[in-house]
Chains A and B, each alone.
Chain A
Amino acid sequence: MQPMISAENLRKTYGTLVAVEGWTLDLYPGDIFGFIGPNGAGKTTTIKMLATLIQPTSGSATVNGIDVVRFPREVRPYIGYMPDAFGVYDDIKVWEYLDFFCAAYDPPKESRPEIIERVLTVTDLMEKRDAYVQTLSRGMQQRLCLAKCLVHDPKVLLLDEPASGLDPRARIDIKKLIARLGALGKTIIVSSHILPELADFCNKIGIQERGKLLVSGDVETIVRQLQPTRQLMISVRNDDSAVTRLLETLRDHPLIEKVTRDTDTPYTVRVAFTGNVEQQAILLRSLIAEEHPLTSFAESAMDLEDVFLRVTTGKVH
């Protein structure tokens, strides 16, 4: 299958500052790529390069197989781009605003009302159809901007921090909307500062810092990659002496780096385990053999926030 978005070694420099470097990625129809990085990581720069708005210093990228640098005009109809900061025209109504963008893509005139109806429904703006755009709240304007990206039914959506500034409910709504668009087979890049915000509806994520894509791939693989030790949570029967005995046994185990009593869950021990899955099974077997009163033995999913903090160093350039 041909990738919908394919970038190879994209690089952008501003003078001596390297904003984006060695950016390589392939995305296929239906992929939702969560693009995470701290301020100044180069997310906006990368997205703008893909959106034909900035010329890469070197490297190449294609959208739907078309080179974005050589044929920007041809690429644009395939892209819906939502900038991180955007303005809207004032003195026009919501539907007129959408009609303008729709008409700009030259669809048959009769189909326009239907298209507008559809995007208004999808973005839940039907009620505001006849409102003036400058009277919309920021969150609604953001939805309007997303609606505007959809009028030409693009195959690729480049969304630069679509959820910033939204209330929790609106964030959930927009996430659902993006997930729905992904299910329709669109290829979506959505950027954010916050990894957990993206992880639940993205199938791929990439973490960028100081212009470099530090890791990228599907969510589980990345978490696995970044986790040199497994976090095991082992609980025993409600009995303090059982916990103490368990702590002692584990402390001497060669594959265990650290053992602590968990403060959140009672009668539970948190273990940093350096072994692999087989060794994990052996550990469980030996604990049972030693007659520890185990009630649960589980690997805790590493906190996504931890992943982010672990990968990025917090340096800004």
Chain B
Amino acid sequence: MSHLWRYLLRENPMQIETTRAIRRFTVSGDYTATTQRTITRILFGLLYVLYAWFLVTIVMYKDDMSQGILWFEFGLLTLLIPGSLYTAISGERERMTWDSLILTNLSPSRILAGKLLWRLSLAGIIMLIFLPPLLLTHCTSHYNKSYALPALLWIQFLLAAWCVFLATFTVYISANTKRSVATLSIVTLSLLFTLVLLPMLMSVFGVSMTSDSAFTQGYTYGYENTRPPTAWIVSSLIAHLNPALVILWMENSSQTMISSDMWRDSGIFLIAPFLYLIGAGLCVAGTLKALARLGMPMQATRKEKGG
């Protein structure tokens, strides 16, 4: 274990990525692109403002804001992780640094670990930053609490698992595309599709679009008496693994509500984080394979020829 720690993290030359990232965000000087720095600063400024607003509202109005905070956190992480990772491999190839990198014989696992480390650490830091307001709002709210404390903590686990999945998924796509624009498009489109479009489609075709029942209820609408088609079942399952919806369903109020949705009633969303982690494992395996192939262009083409 300690060997692995040293090999992948402490003595991994790829840690240089972390140094570079920290510099990009912190050091000022004429060597960094100024526009990039300005944009980063504006974004961070906005985040500060929002964060302050969360705190002020919590203290002043004693409302339970946890759902808002959780959704915001989820949205932020979902933008940030692909945004910082999509150039991980395809970008190296574009900037023509890849050949030099593979000639050093750094192992795919070291490359991957170096790429993931600071991005996931950043995600972890963001989650830590949002933990105090979450707990504060949980403890100070006057009225009904949105979440039970265990549910709140479980959602933290859900988000962490989501981050790991998203990061590994982005690297996987990055390792399998030639251009980083392609990486970004594929990742964005698949996220848009699974997180937004699919639930919308499901609700359009399966749900009476009344009040707040959209997305949340009756995915089996119209199939009450017959077995729904398999494609239907799969897509509604995927739609049910959407972290934003899981956050919604974990609410106290929504748990007492009666729904006609088979997935929700079965509580399937409780295994969502584990499914994310399994997905992450598959993405890691796929990425390591792709990196090995990219690192050995000779043998890769040999196999292609043979097969």
Residues of A within 8 A of B (CB): 51-55, 68-69, 72-73, 76-77, 79, 81, 83, 85-92, 96, 100-101, 103-105, 109, 132, 134-135, 145, 148
Contact = CB atoms under 8 A, between A and B. Distances in A.
Contact of A77 (B23, B24, B105): B105
Interface stretch (B93-101, B134-142, B184-192): B93-101
A55 B96 contact: no
B302 interface: yes
Contacts of B299: 55, 72
B16 A96 contact: yes
Q: How large is the interface on B (under 10, 10 to 19, 20 to 34, 35 or more residues)?
A: 20 to 34
Contact of B297 (A55, A86, A101, A103): A55
A232 to B, nearest CB: 49
B41 interface: no
A69 B298 contact: yes
30 contacts: A52-B103, A53-B102, A54-B298, A55-B297, A55-B299, A55-B300, A68-B298, A76-B104, A76-B105, A86-B97, A86-B100, A87-B95, A87-B96, A87-B97, A88-B97, A89-B20, A91-B19, A91-B20, A91-B31, A92-B19, A92-B23, A96-B16, A100-B16, A101-B100, A103-B13, A104-B105, A104-B106, A105-B105, A109-B11, A132-B31
B301 interface: yes
B151 interface: no
Nearest to A80: B103
Contacts of A103: 11, 13
A88 B19 CA distance: 15
Contacts of A96: 16, 19
Contacts of A68: 298
Nearest to B27: A91
A142 B99 CA distance: 15
A54 B103 contact: no
A81 B103 contact: yes
B104 A101 contact: yes
Contacts of B252: none
Contacts of A51: 99, 103
A148 B101 CA distance: 11
A83 B104 CA distance: 14
Given A51-B103, A81-B99, A89-B20, A104 B13 contact: yes
A174 B32 CA distance: 29
B14 to A, nearest CB: 8
Contacts of A81: 99-100, 103
Closest CB pairs A-B (n = 6): A104-B104, A87-B95, A103-B13, A55-B301, A91-B20, A87-B96
B296 interface: yes
Contacts of A86: 96-97, 99-100
Contact of A92 (B20, B106, B297): B20
Contacts of A52: 103, 297-298
B110 to A, nearest CB: 9
Contacts of A90: 20
B302 A89 contact: no
Contacts of A92: 16, 19-20, 23
Contacts of B103: 51-53, 76, 79, 81
Nearest to B101: A104
Given A53-B297, A90-B20, A148 B105 contact: no
A134 B96 contact: no
Nearest to A131: B31
B31 A134 contact: yes
Given A69-B298, A73-B296, A132-B31, A148 B23 contact: no
Nearest to B93: A87
Nearest to B301: A55
Nearest to B22: A91
B104 A85 contact: no
Contacts of B19: 91-92, 96
- Residue of A79, A87, A109 with highest tally of chain B CB at under 10 A: A87
Nearest to B97: A87
Contact of A100 (B11, B13, B102, B297): B13
Contacts of A132: 31
A83 B101 CA distance: 12
A103 to B, nearest CB: 4
Nearest to A68: B298
A72 B297 CA distance: 9
Contacts of B302: 55, 69
Contacts of B100: 81, 83, 86, 101, 145, 148
A91 B96 contact: no
Interface in B23-67: 23-24, 31-32
A105 B11 CA distance: 12
